[in-house]
Amino acid sequence: MNRQIRRNIDIMLTGLGIALIFTAVLLGSTLTITVQMPMALFGVLLMEAGVWGLSNKFFPSDRRFSRLRVEGNRMLDMVRELNSAAISKDIGQEDAKRFQATLEEMHNSVVKMAELAGIEDGAKIPIKDNRVESDSDDSQES
C-alpha cells in the first residue's frame, strides 16, 4: 500500500472515532450509561489510532531498498557529527582530527551507498573480489 492510502486510512479512523464520540454524547438521553461509555471509549481509541498513524503498523511499508535507506540515514547522522566537529575546531576546543575522521567516514559511506544502490532487500550484495555477501554478513557490520 502506498503512503497516500495509509494516510487516508488514518484520517478515516480519526473521523470515525470523532463521529462515534459525538454519537455517544448526542444520543446520551436515549442510551444508557453502560452503552454510552464503551461507545465513547471505542471512539477515543479509534481516534487515537488515526492520530498515532497505527495503519503503518498493520500495513507495512512497500520499501524495497532498506539497506540503502539505512546507510542514507547514517550519512545524515555523520553530517551532524561533521558540523559539530567543525564548530569545535573553529572555536578551538579540539584539533581537526575528529573533523578529518568524520569526513573520511562520510567518503566510505558514499562508496557503500554506491554499492547498495539498486540492490533490493533479500538480494545478496556483491563484494569487490567477486565474492557475494549475504544479509547475515551485512547485519553484523552495523
- 65-95 pLDDT per residue, tens: 888 889 999 999 999 999 999 999 898 888 8
- 80-136 pLDDT per residue, tens: 999 999 999 898 888 889 999 999 999 999 999 988 888 887 777 777 654 445 454
Region 5-28 average pLDDT: 90
Taking Cα atoms as reference points, which of 63, 55, 81, 68 lies closest to residue 116? 68
The pTM assigned to this predicted structure is: 0.49
Does residue 3 carry a pLDDT above 80? no
Per-residue confidence (pLDDT) for residue 132, from 0 to 100:
45
b/e map of 102-130 (b: 16 or more CB within 10 Å)?
Answer: beeebeebeebeebbeeeeeeeebeeeee
Instruction: Let me know: does 57 contact 28? Beta carbons within 8 Å.
Output: no
CA distance 86 to 81: 9
